[in-house]
């Protein structure tokens, strides 16, 4: 398992026993389902519940950072059929927090979803789980069975008038399904191609019915917020950036893993928790919010605190909280080439600017990396991104463009060196050593 550490454990409270602490009885022993019981027994109103979530300043943990309470309040009251959907299609490169949330504490997400169902008046929910983590999907199904058997799911929950049931749906390898309307299409048994918005899911969601869709970590935070009160939760972080957040730290650190820290924690502190730089090498760059977020050079990143506003001010996005750390052994052209290939591969093909533009970006970065770059290529790349950003149905085109623009902006001399000298500034053997992958010089064939 990945290592974990925390400053103020909330979401990770239940993680200390590893794979031995996920079941219903463990969750109940930690105070689990107490908030659901309190809401039902006190007959808390939907408005009171949403007001409490608004007070917490909880913002969507999937990447967009939209205020959760506000999103819930968009749901039409009168509609007879409504849905709650959880987005665990965690495919943003660098992000692996929701996998651990469902692995070590699936019931906090389940309780959060039931409470959301109560708040928005939905009777049914789905959790869409990334296809590559099938064992986590199976565990979640087991947790659902436990919750159903204990009366937390189903008809007239705990003897109240409230009925809600919840099911797991798995993906099968498509990054685009992390986009909320692509995800809804996918649950409907179709290609995961995003829909035009508006209408937004709150009006036209799953099966065309009003739907609230939130990230796993967002739902998981709900029971804790109600337990401590919205204001106390807000105060854990900083204004407009309430609570704690899970950060998935990957790349060139000594201890990659998930770290839960209060919003506003200095990046330097997070880096220290992750064991510092691998081999004591020098920090070169950080992608602070998953591969779609603009890269930041080391000196800018070291001045940031980990919250939506600070990272935005520095010119990037907190996104999903995936912190990709790169040291001086990284070739920025090669790094960008791999990311550009990803967006090219994962574009759903629906919108021409994205389908064609992502291919252009990959092919041009690829030729620079392989010594065939032309002096005009950097301008060409920027022009292609101009023709992609904001011109498509969903944000994948923007996600493909941000890395290209930011890598060129901050590391232009490295791209120019590649074009001029037809090779990398960083020696390939240094790059290999940086990755930490060592092997015997002769390889025995097995097949």
Partner 1 sequence: MNKQNDMLSPELSPEALRKIDREVAKYPADQKQSAVMAALVIAQDEKGWLSKETIAAVASYLGMPPIAAYEVATFYNMYDLQPVGKYKLTVCTNLPCALSGGVHAADYVKEKLGIDFNETTPDGKFTLKEGECMGACGDAPVMLVNNKRMCSFMLPEAIDKLLAECN
Report 148-167 residues binding partner 1 (CB under 8 A). 167
Instruction: Give the footprint of partner 1 on residues 197-216 (CB under 8 A).
Output: 207
Q: Which is nearer to partner 1, 304 or 335 (CB)?
A: 335
CA pair distance 184, 211, nearest whole angstrom: 9
Among 82, 139, 238, 252, contact with partner 1 (rule: CB under 8 A): 252
Q: Please, what is the minimum distance in Å from the beta carbon of residue 247 to partner 1? A: 11
Among 14, 94, 359, 373, contact with partner 1 (rule: CB under 8 A): 94
Q: Residue length, the chain?
A: 447
Does residue 135 touch partner 1 according to CB under 8 A? yes
Among 15, 96, 308, 411, contact with partner 1 (rule: CB under 8 A): 96
Does residue 194 touch partner 1 according to CB under 8 A? no
Count CA atoms closer than 13 A to 402's CA, side-chain side.
Answer: 20
Does residue 444 touch partner 1 according to CB under 8 A? yes
Does residue 443 touch partner 1 according to CB under 8 A? yes
Does residue 326 touch partner 1 according to CB under 8 A? yes
By rule CB under 8 A, what count of residues binds partner 1? Answer: 71
CA pair distance 349, 337, nearest whole angstrom: 20
Query: Which range binds partner 1 by CB under 8 A, 6-14, 196-204, 304-312, 341-349?
Result: 341-349
Starting from the edge strand earliest in sequence, which strands make up the sheet with 283-287, in order?
3-6, 257-262, 244-251, 322-327, 283-287, 296-297
| C-alpha separations of 325 from 92, 255, 355 in Å | 15, 11, 29
Return the residue matching tokens 């709650």.
84
Q: Which is nearer to partner 1, 126 or 233 (CB)?
A: 126
- Find, among 288, 286, 331, the residue nearest to 312 by Cα: 288
Among 5, 52, 307, 346, contact with partner 1 (rule: CB under 8 A): 346
Q: Three-class SS string for 318-335?
A: CCCCEEEEEECCCCHHHH
| Torsion of the alpha carbons at 240, 244, 248 and 251, rounded to the nearest 10 | 80
Q: Please, what is the minimum distance in Å from the beta carbon of residue 292 to partner 1? A: 11
Among 38, 77, 156, 191, contact with partner 1 (rule: CB under 8 A): 191
Q: Which two tokens stand for residue 18?
A: 């590893």
Query: Which range binds partner 1 by CB under 8 A, 25-33, 104-112, 223-231, 343-351?
Result: 343-351
> Under DSSP, is residue 422 helix (H, G, I), strand (E, B) or coil?
coil
CA pair distance 431, 109, nearest whole angstrom: 40
CA pair distance 426, 357, nearest whole angstrom: 28
Does residue 322 touch partner 1 according to CB under 8 A? yes
Among 171, 194, 243, 262, contact with partner 1 (rule: CB under 8 A): 171
Q: Please, what is the minimum distance in Å from the beta carbon of residue 133 to partner 1? A: 6
Q: Which is nearer to partner 1, 58 or 285 (CB)?
A: 285
Does residue 429 touch partner 1 according to CB under 8 A? no
């Amino acid at each position: 398992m990945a290592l974990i550490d925390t400053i103020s454990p909330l979401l990770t409270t239940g993680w200390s026993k590893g794979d031995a602490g996920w079941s219903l009885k463990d969750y109940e022993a930690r105070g689990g389902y107490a908030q659901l019981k309190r809401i039902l027994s006190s007959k808390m109103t939907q408005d009171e519940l949403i007001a409490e979530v608004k007070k917490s300043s909880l913002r969507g943990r999937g990447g967009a950072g939209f205020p959760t309470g506000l999103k819930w309040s968009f749901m039409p009251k009168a509609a007879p059929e409504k849905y709650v959907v959880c987005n665990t299609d965690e495919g943003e490169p660098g992000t692996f927090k929701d996998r651990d949330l469902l692995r070590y504490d699936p019931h906090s997400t389940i309780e959060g979803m039931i409470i959301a169902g109560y708040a928005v008046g939905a009777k049914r929910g789905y959790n869409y789980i990334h296809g590559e983590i099938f064992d986590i999907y199976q565990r979640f199904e087991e947790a659902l069975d436990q919750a159903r058997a204990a009366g937390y799911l189903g008809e007239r929950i705990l003897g109240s008038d409230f009925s809600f049931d919840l099911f797991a749906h798995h993906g099968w390898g498509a990054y685009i399904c992390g986009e909320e309307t692509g995800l809804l299409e996918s649950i409907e048994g179709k290609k995961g191609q995003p829909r035009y918005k508006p209408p937004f899911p709150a009006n036209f969601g799953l099966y065309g019915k009003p739907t609230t869709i939130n990230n796993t970590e967002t739902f998981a935070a709900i029971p804790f917020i109600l337990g401590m009160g919205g204001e106390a939760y807000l105060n854990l972080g900083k204004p407009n950036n309430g609570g704690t957040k899970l950060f998935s730290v990957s790349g060139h650190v000594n201890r990659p893993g998930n770290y839960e820290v209060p919003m506003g924690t200095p990046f330097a502190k997070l880096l220290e928790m992750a064991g510092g730089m691998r081999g004591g090498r020098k920090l070169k760059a950080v992608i602070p919010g998953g591969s779609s977020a603009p890269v930041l050079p080391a000196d800018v990143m070291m001045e940031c605190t980990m919250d939506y506003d600070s990272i935005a001010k520095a010119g990037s996005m907190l996104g999903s909280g995936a912190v990709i750390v790169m040291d001086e052994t990284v070739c920025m052209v090669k790094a960008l080439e791999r990311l550009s290939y990803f967006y090219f591969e994962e574009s759903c093909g629906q919108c021409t600017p994205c389908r064609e533009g992502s291919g252009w970006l990959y092919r041009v970065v690829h030729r620079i990396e392989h010594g065939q770059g032309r002096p005009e290529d950097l301008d060409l790349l920027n022009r292609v991104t101009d023709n992609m950003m904001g011109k498509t149905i969903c944000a994948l085109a923007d996600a493909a463009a941000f890395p290209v623009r930011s890598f060129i902006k901050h590391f232009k001399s490295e791209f120019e060196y590649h074009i001029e000298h037809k090779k990398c500034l960083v020696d390939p053997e240094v790059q290999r050593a940086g990755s930490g992958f060592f092997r015997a010089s002769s390889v025995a064939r097995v097949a």
